[in-house]
Structures are given as C-alpha cells and as structure tokens.
C-alpha cells in the first residue's frame, strides 16, 4: 500500500532506525519512545491491525514474536524482561493502520497497564 507509512518504511522509501529484520518482519525504533527501548516490529506484508489477523497470517504473526525476541536480545532485555503490546482501534490509541508490535523495556513497566 503506497499510502501506508509503515509499508513505505519496509520499502525503504521512508527512513527508519532499523534494529533487525527478517524475511517476514522489520523492526525499528519508535520516533516517540515511551521507554529506553521502544521498538516497533511490523510484518513486511500489509495487515491493518491485530483484529484483522486470520489463519493465513500465521507465519507472519509468529515471525513478529520471533523478531521481538531478537530485539530483546539485541537491547539486553532478556534478563529483566520487557512488554509486548498490540493496540487495536481508537480506544487503545491505535494511530498507524499497519500491524505493529510494540517492544518496550529498559525500565519498570506499570501494572496494570492502564496505570501508565
Ligand atoms: P499505535 O499507537 O499503536 O498505532 O503506535 C504507532 C506508533 O508508531 C507510535 O508509537 C508512533 O510514535 C510510531 N510512529 C509513527 N510514525 C513513525 C515513524 N515514521 N517511525 C517510527 N515510529 C513511528
């Protein structure tokens, strides 16, 4: 999709601070980080959001998790832990309509998540 900012990042048309990539996924640092590590892992294929995932996306979605583990290893988060987040829809604050997995770490995360 040419009007999708994350598709344009995957295509190399828009610059991004790449962390790691795979055949199916691309991981890059969030422009507005909410934690010392704030990385977005996206499928190279355009999928609108987590609520649109179907069985045909199984490999792409599994690869997001594998790539998120690579991000955690690269940023040294494996021992202390990290948070993985998918936002779906307006109430969750989903602002970019291309599936993305937030990888957040490097500080103590609030729990419950709605506490900040
Ligand atoms: P969400 O609110 O779950 O849709 O998250 C979208 C995220 O994308 C936000 O955290 C934005 O800061 C981030 N974002 C938007 N455009 C870019 C970009 N060009 N490069 C990196 N991060 C971006």
pLDDT digits (tens, 9 = 90+) for 82-107: 999 999 999 999 999 999 999 999 99
Identify the burial level of 48 via C-beta atoms within 10 angstroms of its C-beta, where 0-12 means exposed, 13-18 middle and 19 or more buried: middle
Q: What is the CATH number of the domain that holds 25?
A: 3.30.428.10
Place of tokens 């995932």: 53
Contact in structure between 63 and 101 (CB atoms under 8 Å):
no
DSSP state letter for 7: H
CA 70, CA 7: separation in Å to the nearest integer? 21
Give 30 Cα–ligand 1 centroid separation in angstroms.
Answer: 6
Contact in structure between 7 and 46 (CB atoms under 8 Å):
yes
For residue 16, give its domain range. 5-115
Quick one: which of 6, 11, 8 has its CA closest to 41? 6
Pocket test for ligand 1, best of 83, 84, 93, 96 (most atoms within 8 A of CB): 96
Lining ligand 1 with CB less than 6 A are 5, 16, 30-32, 40, 87, 93-96
Give the predicted TM-score (pTM) of the model.
0.96
Q: 115: pLDDT confidence band, cut at 50, 70 and 90?
A: low
- Name the domain count of the chain: 1
pLDDT of residue 63: 98
Q: Is the pLDDT of residue 114 over 70?
A: no
Contact in structure between 26 and 14 (CB atoms under 8 Å):
no
Residue 61: both structure tokens together: 């979605």
Q: Which residues are identified as catalytic? A: 100
């Amino acid at each position: 999709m040419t009007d999708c900012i994350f598709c344009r990042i995957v295509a190399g048309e828009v610059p991004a601070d790449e962390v790691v990539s795979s055949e199916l996924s691309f991981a890059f640092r969030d422009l507005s980080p909410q934690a010392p590590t704030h990385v977005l892992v996206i499928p190279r294929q355009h999928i609108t959001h987590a609520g649109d995932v179907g069985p045909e996306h199984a490999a792409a979605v599994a690869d997001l998790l594998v790539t998120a583990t690579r991000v955690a290893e690269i940023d040294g988060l494996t021992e202390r832990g990290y948070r993985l987040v998918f936002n779906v829809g307006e109430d969750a604050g989903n602002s970019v309509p291309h599936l993305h997995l937030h990888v957040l770490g490097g500080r103590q995360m609030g729990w419950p998540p709605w506490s900040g």
